[in-house]
Amino acid sequence: MAGKRSLTNLHLDSMLQGRDMDELEQLLRPKLEPPPRPLMPMAKVNERRVQRLWKAIDVVPHPDILDQWTSRNLDAFDGHIENCIGSVKVPLGLAGPLRVNGLFAQGDYSVPLATSEAALVASYHRGCCLISAAGGCTSMLLYQALNRSPAFAFDSIITAGRFVAWAMESFEEFQQIADGTTAHGKLVDVGTTVEGNHVYLNFEFTTGDASGQNMVTIATQAICDYIAEECPVTIGQLYVEGNLSGDKKASAQAYTSVRGRKVSAEVILSPELLQKFLRVTAKQMADYWCMSAIGGVLSGTMGVHGHFANGLAALYLATGQDAACVAESAIGVTRFEVTDDGSLYASVSLPSIMVGTVGGGTSLPSQRAALELLGLHGNGHSGALAEVCAGLLLGGELSIIAALASGDFTRAHHKLAR
């Protein structure tokens, strides 16, 4: 608990609620009786097992959780969840069409967004329509790599140095081992970080059209098994992930390099389009962006942007991406500048978009349908999805910054959220 004295006293009063400290202490102590009865763990998903779990918690299956559609599609959930009791429904909206002129994405995309936040789809829709009216955004997939960082402990820094030298010489063997675990992923590079007698190897993979977290974990485990058997020095401890990869967390490493797919998108908007769609001038947009950029620096954000997480979370839920990866994907930079003719140059750069069009949740019925609506399900489409994602976020930045610059932000939420 931290805070000023007056706030701390108020908080203590709200916690105590007329009780003394002895009563509160008794309330907070561990309670071993009666002993809890853990649910029987169930990895397989089928009707019988789902019913057993409802029975175990002594609750009649809720028709909004285990509805007819869910019951019919339980087999599709197998391999995606454990202890399944049904599904939850999140409203799905469309933004767009968004015109994208990319290396991989070419055309107009109606973008599915799953959210319960009023005004979110409306905002992204407005930004997408503006971009399309300008002829579309230019969006480019710049690089792709996904890392896994095993960690090793040794008795001394000297031994650690010997290990690093051997590991660098063994890189081709590591590549062959990784190739044996997947037909789609490739080990392309390895970095080293030495901290005292600890060593982190940062393996970098390409992952084809999959997001690839499981793929690189399995490949890295196979390499670690080889290292454990063949390493010429004694390893004290070995962990398949030493928390250097930045998996599912914002990190400076991902911000300055890449984790997933690195994408940038840009658009130039005339004064007429800005007035028609956003009721602002380029100067208003740039002035607000400048002040908000300083605010972002003062608050210590990873990059400078308005709300990347909003669009990412909604798109990830709709299309079966790993929603937790929003933590690492929602970093990057939005930039606005006034051009010589009074137009607005706007761009977004995102170094860590974690998306795929095969594997994981992309095979679930609704999520597959959402990807098919985009025309981006299956092999050969992950680059296009990343470029569409960048275009979507560019639209979201234009819309929210215009709302804040013009004073419409609160009014829009008040109107649409009621």
Q: Is the pLDDT of residue 77 over 70?
A: yes
Tell me the pLDDT tens digit for each residue of 5-38. Answer: 777 777 777 777 878 888 888 888 999 999 988 9
Q: Is the pLDDT of residue 415 over 60?
A: yes
Active site residues: 117, 322, 413
**Share of residues in the chain with pLDDT > 90 (%):** 87
Tell me the pLDDT tens digit for each residue of 323-368. Answer: 999 999 999 999 999 999 999 999 999 999 999 999 999 999 999 9
Dist CA 225 CA 203 (whole Å): 15
CATH 3.30.200.20 is the classification of domain 92-142+262-416 = no
Q: Is the pLDDT of residue 412 over 60?
A: no
Please check whether the two domains, 92-142+262-416 and 150-239, share a CATH topology: no
Sequence ranges of the domains in the chain: 40-85, 92-142+262-416, 150-239
Question: Tell me, what DSSP letter sits at residue 197?
Answer: T
**Share of residues in the chain with pLDDT > 70 (%):** 97
Amino acid identity, residue 134?
A
Q: Is the pLDDT of residue 4 over 80?
A: no
Instruction: Check if the beta carbon of residue 142 is closer than 8 Å to that of residue 259.
Output: no
> 3-class SS at 96?
strand
For the whole model, what pTM was predicted?
Answer: 0.92
Q: Is the pLDDT of residue 267 over 70?
A: yes
User: In the chain, what is the straight-line distance between the N-terminal and C-terminal CA atoms, in Å?
Assistant: 35
Rg (CA), the chain: 25
Average pLDDT over residues 52-81: 95
Give the H/E segment covering residue 404.
Answer: helix 382-406
Instruction: Check if the beta carbon of residue 233 is closer than 8 Å to that of residue 163.
Output: yes
Average pLDDT over residues 147-170: 98
Assign domain 150-239 to a CATH class: alpha beta
Q: Is the pLDDT of residue 377 over 90?
A: yes
- φ/ψ bin of 41: left (φ > 0), alpha (ψ from -120 to 50), beta (otherwise): beta
Look up residue 123 and give its two tokens: 């905002």
